[in-house]
Amino acid sequence: MNYGYARVSTIAQHLDRQINELKKKGLTEENIFLDKESGKDFDRQSYKRLKKKLKSGDVLYIKSIDRLGRNYMMILEEWRILTKEKNVDIVVIDMPLLDTRIEGKNLVGKFIADVVLQVLSFVAENERETMRQRQAEGIRMAKLRGVRFGRPKITSPDNLDGIIADYLSGKLTSKLACAKSGLSRGTFFRRIKENQR
């Protein structure tokens, strides 16, 4: 049986391009498993269902190696489990050298596929690490320029102490106190706790 697997990292991203490539290989929608989850590990809903379905002699198609995963060591281990333990063939559409269906399963072909896999997995992991470093560097530089991250700090009105006092003495209901202070209910009660410290 032939199966396809497609993955994007977030719900906002689209799987259309990968699905089209898998359909060109003759796969039907019933045999294509889709995930909108990070590739940092293999704890993904559809992938786990797919892996349970795969049996000896099946072929798994993926668009590119980074759709399988992003972690170098995990990709290698997963590849080993699928090809050696489950005896499943894998076809990476964007990389013809990564096709374990090599005629006659000759040793040279298998060796080339394993070497290419190791190189590509390393590149995918290295790219992820580089992206993380660039992001951290960008955040650091932005902070040096005075860019503030996170939600803006909520400023309290000048008369907040009086409003809190009126609320605590029963002159104001919480609804009225919040309306008068312009604060949400949660923020208003946080301010009361802060004042009582």
- Residue 59 sits at φ, ψ, to 5 deg, of -120, 130
- Report CA torsion sign: 26, 30, 36, 39: negative
Q: Which of 9, 38, 46, 64 is catalytic?
A: 9
Q: What tokens were used for 165?
A: 């006092």
Whether 169 is catalytic: no
- Residue 2 sits at φ, ψ, to 5 deg, of -100, 135
90 strand-pairing partners: 60
Collapse the DSSP code of 144 into the 3-class scheme (helix H, G, I; strand E, B; otherwise coil) and give the result: helix
Which residues are catalytic, by number? 9
